[in-house]
Structure 1
Amino acid sequence: MTLEEKARQLGHTAPAIPRLGIPQYNWWNEGLHGVARAGIATVFPQAIGMAASWDAPLLQRVGDTVATEFRAKFVERRLPDGGSEFYRGLTVWSPNINIFRDPRWGRGQETYGEDPYLTGRLGIAYIGGLQGSDPKFLKTVATSKHFAVHSGPESNRHREDVHPTPHDLEDTYLPAFRATVTEAKVESIMCVYNAVDGVPGCANSRLMEDYLRKSWGFKGYVVSDCGAAANIYRPDSLHYTRTAVEGVALGFRAGMDLICGDYRNNMTTEPENIVAAVKAGLLPEAVVDHALRRLLEARVRLGLFDPQLPFAHITAKDYDTPEHHALSRQMAEASMVLLKNEGDLLPIKGDPRTIAVIGPNADSFDALVGNYYGTPSKPVTVLDGIRARYPKSEILYVQGTGLIGPAELPVPDAALCVDADCATPGLRAEFFKGTNLEGAPIETSVQPNARFEWRGDRETSARWTGTLVAPESGEFGFRFASENGYRVWVGDKLVVDEWGVGDAPSILSGTIMLEKGRKYPLRVEGFQRGQRSSQQLVWSTPGSGGDQAVAAAKRADLVLFVGGLSARIEGEEMKVKAPGFAGGDRTSLDLPAPQQQLLERLDATGKPVVLVLMNGSALSVNWADAHIPAIVEAWYPGGEGGHAVAGLLAGDFSPAGRLPVTFYKSADQLPPFPDYRMAGRTYRYFTGEPLYPFGHGLSYTRFRYTAPKLSSAQVSANGSVEMSVDVTNSGARDGDEVVQLYVTHPGVDGAPIRALQRFERVHLKRGETRRVGFTLDSRALSVVGVDGARRVSPGRVDLWIGGGQPATRTGLPVAAGAAARLDIVGSAILPK
């Protein structure tokens, strides 16, 4: 290859080189919880929900299924030269194994929670499923991201310089990455936007060479987070180097192999800067060759140069299948966490005559899918699930409130007309090629409303114009429910502008005062990238209150309030104008005020209320814990989520999900969000009383732990010991238990309060007893010192094996379990 050809291969849009038989390839694919952004696909629960299953074998099955769907999508749209387009390749930028150190982080939903050990085991499982077990070929390439110290705030992620202590780096931030490299043999690593100890993550040789390649033996390739290479030099970012050429050269010399561009830098993948860096003597061409070799090796191991594609049994139809839907439902059921069940309100007894289903997430597509998602062909909302599970009951549905404001409903067709005299109903629609409404329209028509069901995967923008007739006087709110950017004008006012350039807009709305019967010019604009779902104009009206919801509750025998958050208000760099939210992150952990107010009104009716939370991070539902008899954490449960929620409520299965994060009583219990020190954070270092602790989750049955036994009362520093216990299902029905083993080093500096070191989810029939045992090795018994060294030291170790942590808060059921004491003899220093 020429130098110029090599440089172009080092960006995520690698062009074909026909004379060498190299097809074009787009490296960018998202697979956090299913194939994302490539049209119809099976959507599994969001990553944080799958983590709540505490079921590594099940997660590996999910990863294998996701890999099958990636293969099917690749075959479906494979280019004539054998290459791939955007979101159609086999290199998957998942899983996200960053530690969810602070619940205010909007992207924490993408992670496996706050614990390094749990995160590592689940990451290994998902990677194993994605990459497969074929001795020659990779099913897909998995990517551990974002390496290595990254967890918000979103608003400053392109400028942030974080300084973890040596202890926290080794004890919290690196273990999961180490596990996915040394055990799962992950083929790809993604470097971060931010700087670590003054050096941009994608130019940080300490991370990429010293740890990743030398200490851990990583053999794969490093890809930049999208736009992170430009952060090295951009003046409005880290500006670590003066010029782009210097920045790109530094990144490749430090260990980066592939550049992903982004919308902030016009998707540039820097080929001209790579060439210039080599010609200026800043970047040896041998470094370019080494990076290119790693990338081509990955494509070879995917079978992309073989005459016969590997995994040939996977066809273009092997996605969104009934079997995959069933697995999505199984995982959704496994992820459900029963937080509270006072008076055994759940499971629901019999078929209630009337059920009121209320709340902003009750019939919400957004609340099913979280972020980084595909398009489920038949999404089942909670409302859908309740209707299907209780066909004999009268189901009363009222939204009642929005997530952070009034309830929003589609603007009715009757309120719209084409011209000022309103002689013709509807709106004039114009569609344009590309995302900027440029050039002549490729299609014009009169349509009933500003609605658009997305079809195909081309980039399109649209404009609807006409007249709006106000049905009443007062303040109206407007939003264009869309997967990408939008703007709405009413009269001469730009009511809301969420045009943006990113992938997932917020639910930003704007308000305007209107007079009943008056006609207002209306203009709605939006654009769309890729295959997503539908778009429509929605509004809140002056009468959008909770009165209808309260009236429905009074008629009902049972009230289900389905609230929480969505990825439109917590997520990646977004606009959210509401108290408690900032740039995709949160400033408060409380249930948003409009939801809290309606929940209190529903409780005041005296009817039994079940609170179903759908969210990707912890919520401080203190009032609900004190007043609402039953609370379910459903996360963002995927395309089959509504069936899973309904099944839990009905008692079709016994819930066994466990929290992968601590639910705090308030953000005031936490250190400042930008502080990356772990002191006072997560169950390992938090000394206060939580609302619900890490590992918590109730069941419809009971478990008993007896006869704990150690294989030896003493263990050498380089040895191992087994702890086992009899676990009995002593309740009235079959169910799963999540057996958790925690290790405590009393009085040892640097040691966490306790640390999860082993776990297993087991199914036990009513009355069944099973012996469950775990082996603890030197790493499981080690402690990291203030100097960052991991040591096994002589002394006492306390062990706890049970259905949760040994400590809890006042008023919360105590987890069953058993304790033991172990003595370590000798000492050892372990490799980093």
Structure 2
Amino acid sequence: LNNVNPRDLWETYLPAFKSLVQEADVRQVMCAYQRLDDEPCCGNTRLLQTILREDWGFKHIVVSDCGAVTDFFTSHKTSSDAVHASARAVLAGTDVECVWQGYAYEKLPEAVAKGLITEKEVDSHLLKVLIGRFDLGDFDDNKLVPWASIPMSIVNNAEHRKLALDMALESMTLLQNKNNILPLKKLGKKIAVIGPNADNEPMLWGNYNGKPVRTISILNGISSKVGANNVLYDKACDAVENKVTQSYFSKATAGGKQGFKATYWNEPERKGTVVTTTQISNPFKITTAGDHEFASGVKLTGFSALYETDFTAPETEEIVFKAGATGYFELFVNGKSLARYNNWRTLPSRITYNVEKGKTYKIEIRYGQLNNWQANLEFDFGKELDIDFTALINKLKGIDQVIFVGGLSTLLEGEEMPVNYPGFKGGDRTDIELPLVQRNCLKALKAAGKKVIFVNCSGSAIGMVPETESTDAILQAWYGGESGGQAVADVLFGDYNPSGKLPVTFYRDSTQLPDFEEYSMKGRTYRYMTAAPLFQFGYGLSYTSFYIGSARLNKSAIKKGESISITIPVTNTGKRSGTEIVQVYVRKVNDTGGPVKTLKGFKRTTLAAGESKEAVIQLQPTSFEFYDARQLKMDVTPGEYELWYGNSSSDKDLKMIKLSIQ
């Protein structure tokens, strides 16, 4: 990146890091993979020394993103080898290298010998690492370290379970509620709970996650409200596949037997003595989870495998291979590699291949357990058939209300993933629409006259313009964690009044998004958008209503460096208690090229029906900092400022009061 506007860098990209360093006092900062102004971030002296340490006063550890130093000489080509890359990274301020294997920092003694870096310089960075470890008590007797004596009974205790539920509840964001269909009645007719995320516990965990002791799925949460006998469940469709696969696994043979021949070695390269050979007659779902062996005598780590079969095509057609693996995976047909990846978690992949009737194809899968990753392998193949929702609609006869739990999952969106489906590529989105198969299912439900409550689970904004027509209510449930299913049910059935507000803009569709390879903020997010999105930043409905009165400031004019207090009257004008999140946005008047508005403060205000309160929000001096092109830095400059306050970032939901800074 060589063309990041200084204003965008200082006003948009850096403030979150500055806040974490100066206000949260974080002890580690991670430098990223990419280059900024021709320097890889982990070798960027401006970022790691001038800004982070000198300007912001950070005194602790900088760690590389995993493999970022290796990238200096393998992809960026800014260093010739590991010796030069390691010296460059340390000199720039990267104290610790994270990488799976092949540590560049192992070459630091050679870099010292070449005069690329001094031993004294290396020691200064080692000192930061040792101080961090001393602070953690790594070298102390456990009796002296408070957290070393925390008993296992603290794990998943009642207080922690309550915290998990409270967090999930506060994140629930109601986006649509036609004719107040929500909350649902607990005592009534049978309801249907359908969709790919309804009974999906891992989806709730997000990614980069631990595994909870217990997880409440959305299906189980809803069943706890009305009783399992009053719930009809059906997955209805896949999250993204708009076809179903008719398996051809039974048509494959190896050695005259149905299925695949499996050969295992207790070493990673499929060499040496074979441990065992087995026959697999059903689609693969093999894992070492729970200390299960792939086959008798096969170790849990450091093993490899070869799976072989012959398949004679019954028709001339396109077939599809469905695979997912944690570890090394490679698929061959007739000796040609069709897919290969090393992955630390199991993700779905879809590989198409054209076959001719009567012709025999040799299918081969090579697998290897890697690093400390828990081995897992899934595989099937066959032909795809179009999905028909007729059977589903027939199954739902006599049921009026349908809760459809869909959206995405961390098998589709995340970091560097071997996923390639319409709308998804490598963990990124190629468009932001709800996957077509779910969209079509919702349309079929509406055409059948059902009242549809759409629970959307995702970690990102989804384009849902058609869903505002095909559904009666939309609840944005994110990835709610171990108690996410309980939180969804509490909201749907009125045991909790939703108060969540969108922390990101939900665009109408991808046409409202500038190119993501362009880092200019122009037209991007609520701060610079002029067009109306589908659901604006800060938006979220409640089961009650609120009126926000006219605010007052404790001062109409302040000097640079002073804070200000804004008092905002809030009244619950509905019939039940609820929480409103009052928001304050700041705009600098006559600031050419500046943001339309920027959130600078908010406050949760809980009120009983008919109750009025005053929300008091303190705005610190930094709330009025904007980039000053004359000084080439962030600063509070004299002039007029507008303070917009209300319950979302939309102009129609905001009122304005002016402030002068002298």
2:635 paired residue among 772, 784, 791: 791
- Counterparts in 2 of 1:320 and 1:240: CA distance versus 1, 3 Å: same
Note the alpha carbon deviations across 1:682-737, whole angstroms, 9 max, x for none. Answer: 11111111111111111112222235221011111222210012323332223222
Q: 1:507 aligns with which of 348, 358, 370?
A: 348
**Structure 1 residue identity aligned to 2:388:** G
User: Percentage identity across aligned positions?
Assistant: 34
Residue pair 2:70, 2:85 contacting (<8 A) in 1 also: yes
Q: CA deviation at 1:438?
A: 4.8
1:212-231 mapped onto 2 (5 Å cutoff): 212-231=52-71
Q: Render the CA deviation track for 1:515-556: whole Å, top value 9, x for unaligned.
A: 999999876555555566975445676456132333334442
Q: Is the 8 A contact 1:407 1:540 kept in 2?
A: no
Counterparts in 2 of 1:171-182, with a 5 A limit? Answer: 171-182=11-22
Evaluate the alpha carbon distance shift between residue 533 and residue 259 of structure 1 in structure 2; reply closer, same or farther with a 3 A threshold. Answer: closer
- Residue 381 of structure 1 aligns with which residue? 217
Letter aligned with residue 582 of structure 2 = V
Give me the TM-score of the superposition, normalised by structure 1.
Answer: 0.71
| In the alignment, structure 1 residue 819 sits paired with structure 2 residue 656 | yes
1:207 paired to 2:47: yes
Give 1:242's match in structure 2, choosing from 77, 80, 88: 80
Q: CA deviation at 1:770?
A: 3.0
Partners in 2 of 1:602 and 1:539 — Cα distance? 30
Spell out, residue by residue over 1:17-72, the C-alpha distance to the aligned partner (whole angstroms, 9 max, x if none). xxxxxxxxxxxxxxxxxxxxxxxxxxxxxxxxxxxxxxxxxxxxxxxxxxxxxxxx
Question: How much does 1:493 deviate?
Answer: 8.5
What amino acid sits opposite 1:623 in the alignment? P
State the distance in 1 between where 2:245 and 2:512 align: 37
Which amino acid in the other structure matches residue 660 of structure 2?
D
Kindly indicate whether the alpha-carbon contact (under 8 Å) linking 2:526 and 2:649 is maintained by their aligned counterparts in 1: no
Match of 1:296? 130
Where does residue 388 of structure 2 map in the other structure?
A: 546
Residue of 178, 194, 198 corresponding to 1:358: 194
Structure 1 contact 406–594 (Cα < 8 Å) conserved:
yes
* Partner in structure 2 of residue 158 of structure 1: none
Residue identity opposite 1:738 in structure 2? I
Distance 1:620 1:259, change over 3 A: same
| d(CA) in 2 for partners of 1:645, 1:668 | 31
Separation in 2, partners of 1:623, 1:320: 40
Change (3 A) 1:636 1:470: farther
In structure 1, how many angstroms separate the alpha carbons of the residues matched to 2:582 and 2:58? Answer: 32
Of the three residues 112, 118, 131, the one matched with 1:278 is 112
Do the aligned residues in 1 keep the contact of 2:264 with 2:303 (CA within 8 Å)? Answer: yes
CA distance in 2, matches of 1:774, 1:206: 35
Partner of 1:144: none
SS of the residue aligned with 1:500?
Answer: strand
Look up the SS of the partner of 1:380 in the other structure: coil
Q: Distance in 1 between matches of 2:87 and 2:136?
A: 28
Shift of 1:384: 3.1
Match of 1:148 in 2: none
Q: Which residue of 2 aligns with 1:232?
A: 72
Distance 2:360 2:605 in 1: 64
Distance 2:237 2:191 in 1: 18
Structure 2 residue 237 is the aligned partner of structure 1 residue 401: yes
Aligned counterpart, 1:44? none
Q: Which residue of 1 aligns with 2:297?
A: none
Going from structure 1 to structure 2, the CA distance change for 1:381 and 1:523 (only over 3 Å counts) comes to farther
Q: 1:800 aligns with which of 644, 651, 660?
A: 644
Unaligned runs of 5+ in 1: 1-160, 809-814, 826-832
CA-CA distance at 1:642 after TM superposition: 2.1
Task: Note if contact 1:495-1:512 (Cα within 8 Å) is conserved in structure 2.
Answer: no
Letter in 2 for 1:673: F
SS where residue 461 of structure 2 aligns? coil
1:250 partner letter: R
User: 1:166 corresponds to which residue?
Assistant: 6
In the alignment, is the contact (CA less than 8 A) between 2:547 and 2:572 conserved in 1? yes
Cα distance, 1:592 vs. partner?
A: 2.0
Deviation at 1:786, TM superposition (A): 3.4
CA contact (8 A) 1:589 1:666 kept: yes
Following superposition, the deviation at residue 179 of structure 1 comes to 1.0
Q: Secondary structure of 2:551's partner? A: strand
* 1:564 pairs with 2:407: yes
Question: Which of residues 150, 171, 182 is equivalent to 1:335?
Answer: 171
Q: CA 1:286 to 1:387, structure 2 compared with 1: closer, same or farther past 3 Å?
A: same
Residue pairs, 1:499-648, within 5 angstroms? 499-511=340-352, 526-528=367-369, 530=372, 536-537=378-379, 542-543=384-385, 545-547=387-389, 548-648=391-491
| Aligned residue identity for 1:202 | C
C-alpha distance in 1 between matches for 2:322 and 2:419: 13
Q: Kindly state the Cα deviation for residue 433 of structure 1 after the two structures are TM-superposed.
A: 4.0
Higher strand share: 2
CA contact (8 A) 1:720 1:778 kept: yes
Once structures 1 and 2 are overlaid, which stretch shifts more, 691-700 or 478-487?
478-487
CA contact (8 A) 1:360 1:399 kept: yes
Aligned match of 2:97: 259
Q: Matches of residues 405-484 of structure 1 in structure 2 within 5 Å?
A: 405-406=241-242, 420-422=256-258, 431-433=264-266, 436-440=269-273, 442=275, 449=282, 450-453=284-287, 454-456=289-291, 458=301, 460-462=303-305, 477-484=320-327
Report what 2:294 is aligned to.
Answer: none
Report deviation, 1:300. Answer: 0.5
The one-letter code of the counterpart of 1:709 is: R
Shift in Å, 1:676: 0.8
Gaps of 5+ in 2: 292-299
CA contact 1:710–1:721 (8 Å) conserved in 2: yes
Deviation (angstroms), 1:306: 0.3
Q: Which residue of 1 aligns with 2:600?
A: 757
> Do the aligned partners of 1:505 and 1:574 also contact (CA within 8 Å) in 2?
no
Kindly indicate whether the alpha-carbon contact (under 8 Å) linking 1:478 and 1:488 is maintained by their aligned counterparts in 2: no
Q: How far apart, in 2, do the equivalents of 1:320 and 1:411 lie?
A: 41
TM-superposed deviation, 1:404: 2.7
Q: Distance in 2 between matches of 1:410 and 1:340?
A: 38
SS state at 1:324 partner? helix
Q: Does the alignment pair 1:305 with 2:145? A: no
Judge conservation of contact 1:404–1:594 (CA < 8 Å) in 2: yes
| Paired AA for residue 83 in structure 2 | V
CA distance change for structure 1 residues 695 and 522 in 2, over 3 Å: closer, same or farther?
A: same
Q: Which residue of 1 aligns with 2:560?
A: 717
1:39 equivalent in structure 2: none
The residue type equivalent to 2:451 in the other structure is: P
Q: Which amino acid aligns with 1:630?
A: A
Q: CA deviation at 1:804?
A: 1.4
Q: 1:660 is matched with which residue: 503, 508, 515? A: 503
Structure 1, residues 588-610: CA drift from partner, whole Å, max 9, x if none?
11112222222222221111112
Instruction: Give the number of aligned pairs.
Output: 647
Q: Report the more deviating stretch, 522-531 or 623-632.
A: 522-531
Q: CA deviation at 1:613?
A: 1.4
CA offset digits 1:362-394 (Å, max 9, x no partner) = 333452233212223433332333333331554
Q: 1:484 to 1:727 in 2, by over 3 A?
A: farther
Partner SS, residue 233 of structure 1: helix
Q: Which has the higher contact order (CA 8 A, sep 6+)?
A: 1
Q: Is the 8 A contact 1:505 1:575 kept in 2?
A: no
- Aligned amino acid, residue 497 of structure 2: S
Match of 1:319 in 2: 155
SS of the equivalent of 1:780 reads: helix
Residue equivalent to 1:76: none
Change (3 A) 1:611 1:508: same
Is the contact between residue 326 and residue 342 of structure 2 (CA under 8 Å) also seen in structure 1? no
Q: CA RMSD in A?
A: 3.3
CA distance in 2, matches of 1:542, 1:555: 31
